[in-house]
Structure 1
Amino acid sequence: MRSIYVVAHPEATHHVEGVVGGWHDSHLTSAGRSAAARIARALRAVIPDGAEVELISSDLQRARQTADEVAELFGAKPVLDRGLREKSYGEAEGRPQEWLDRRFVPPPAAGDRMGHHEGVRGAETRGECARRVYAAMDEVLRRPCEHQIIVTHGFALTFVVAAWIRMPFESLGSVSFRAPSGSITVLREDDFFHNRQVVSLGDMSHLDS
């Protein structure tokens, strides 16, 4: 049985500073570091000792810092993959959120949502982000491993889950799997039917006081 634990990195500086994230290389806040340690302990509690574990992370600092907390408990060196980065917001990254809000062109309700340009120079389209994440997931799933931990970002996580359930690319225009910062999503494939499940989505119970 293959189990994949998808972590949305916890609170980072861009969250509290009110600036646009994307590829802006923000780092975890002190609260984020504390949450990352809780995430690591929660994963350690459900993955058996001695089990084969692979840890794959976005290469952005806030995801790497989260992965490092997990790595410390599992003795697994994180594999960094740019394909798991958050959607790029181009020239808006690192600027105040209100700067982006004034320029943002929302996607249409119908039509070419995947190729829609949001009005910000250098930003990825939804389709470009999805193709990148799908390619990263192809690499992850080519490697047979009983337990895989993926550390990524809130928007990109939708495409991680969509790739897992083999959602066709042309169906991705409106899909959204909501998972808060610091959450854990569990995906599982059984050995008999080879059905792929979304066991839990955006679980935050490990952060409860």
Structure 2
Amino acid sequence: MRTLYVVTHPQATHHVENVVGGWHDSRLTPAGIRAAAAVAQALRARIPRSADVELYASDLRRTRQTAEAVAELFGVAPVLDPRLREKSYGEAGGRPQQWLDRRFVPPPAVGERLEHDEGVKGAETKAAWVRRVYAAMDDILGRPCEHQIIVTHGGTLTFVVTAWIKMPQATVGYASLRAPAGSITTLHEDDFFHNRQIVALADTHHLDPAAVD
């Protein structure tokens, strides 16, 4: 039996400043810090106190801050993994969203989407993003721990989930799951069928409604 709890970091400064996130190292806002505490309390209520728990997080500051709130309640040190970062937007990171919007080349409705060039210098392709997230998930799921917490980003959550259900990388070009800031997605694998379930996707019931973007 295994249960994963995938957390998307709460509100960060790039959200309120309307700048591009990605690898831009924004921090949690005061509201985000309060939401991170609510996330930690919600996880503590769901996971038995006798259970062994592993905690993984993107190494960017906003996810580190979220993981630190969880770590304090669980008494575990987060394993920081840059492969769990959001997509890199290259030179657009930290710039006004309008700057990116003027330059962004959207993927085609039909044709090559994973290796599509979005027109921004230094930006990752979706293929590169998917490969690193899948590699991180292979390592996390290679561990025998029954309760694992992953703190990541709203965009990256999609590929954490598609990796979980073993969706081939070549087929995820159209995949996109809505994941508000501060959400918890619960994934479970049973011991009998070894089916991998999506028990709850992007749950925000633990948050103040004003904290959900």
**TM-score band (shorter)?**
over 0.9
- Alignment partner, residue 40 of structure 2: 40
- Alignment partner, residue 71 of structure 1: 71
Which SS does the other structure have where 1:205 is aligned?
coil
CA distance in 2, matches of 1:199, 1:171: 22
- Alignment partner, residue 203 of structure 2: 203
Which SS does the other structure have where 2:108 is aligned?
coil
- Alignment partner, residue 151 of structure 2: 151
Deviation, 1:164, is 0.1
- Alignment partner, residue 59 of structure 1: 59
Per-residue CA distance 1:21-72 (angstroms, 9 max, x = gap): 0000000000000000000000000000110100000000000000000000
CA distance in 2, matches of 1:42, 1:186: 12
Which SS does the other structure have where 2:69 is aligned?
helix
* Superposition TM-score, scaled by structure 2 size: 0.97
Q: How many residues align?
A: 209
CA distance in 2, matches of 1:160, 1:124: 17
How high is the sequence identity, in percent, across the aligned residues?
A: 70
CA distance in 1, matches of 2:117, 2:151: 27
Which SS does the other structure have where 1:27 is aligned?
coil
- Alignment partner, residue 30 of structure 2: 30
* Superposition TM-score, scaled by structure 1 size: 0.99
Which SS does the other structure have where 1:206 is aligned?
coil
Deviation, 1:177, is 1.5
Per-residue CA distance 1:102-147 (angstroms, 9 max, x = gap): 0000000011100001100000011110001000000000001110
CA distance in 2, matches of 1:90, 1:208: 33
Deviation, 1:94, is 0.4
Verify: 1:191 aligned to 2:180, yes or no: no
- Alignment partner, residue 128 of structure 2: 128
CA distance in 2, matches of 1:169, 1:133: 10
Q: Alignment RMSD, CA only?
A: 0.6
Q: Aligned partner of 2:67: which letter?
A: A
Deviation, 1:84, is 0.1
CA distance in 2, matches of 1:25, 1:33: 16
Q: Aligned partner of 2:45: which letter?
A: A
CA distance in 1, matches of 2:203, 2:196: 18
Deviation, 1:208, is 3.6
Per-residue CA distance 1:162-197 (angstroms, 9 max, x = gap): 000000111111011111110000000001110000
Deviation, 1:8, is 0.3
Q: What does 1:106-125 correspond to in 2, within 5 Å?
A: 106-125=106-125
CA distance in 2, matches of 1:66, 1:34: 10
Structure 1: 5+ residue stretches without partners? none
- Alignment partner, residue 171 of structure 1: 171
- Alignment partner, residue 141 of structure 1: 141
Q: Aligned partner of 2:191: which letter?
A: D
Structure 2: 5+ residue stretches without partners? none
CA distance in 1, matches of 2:117, 2:30: 35
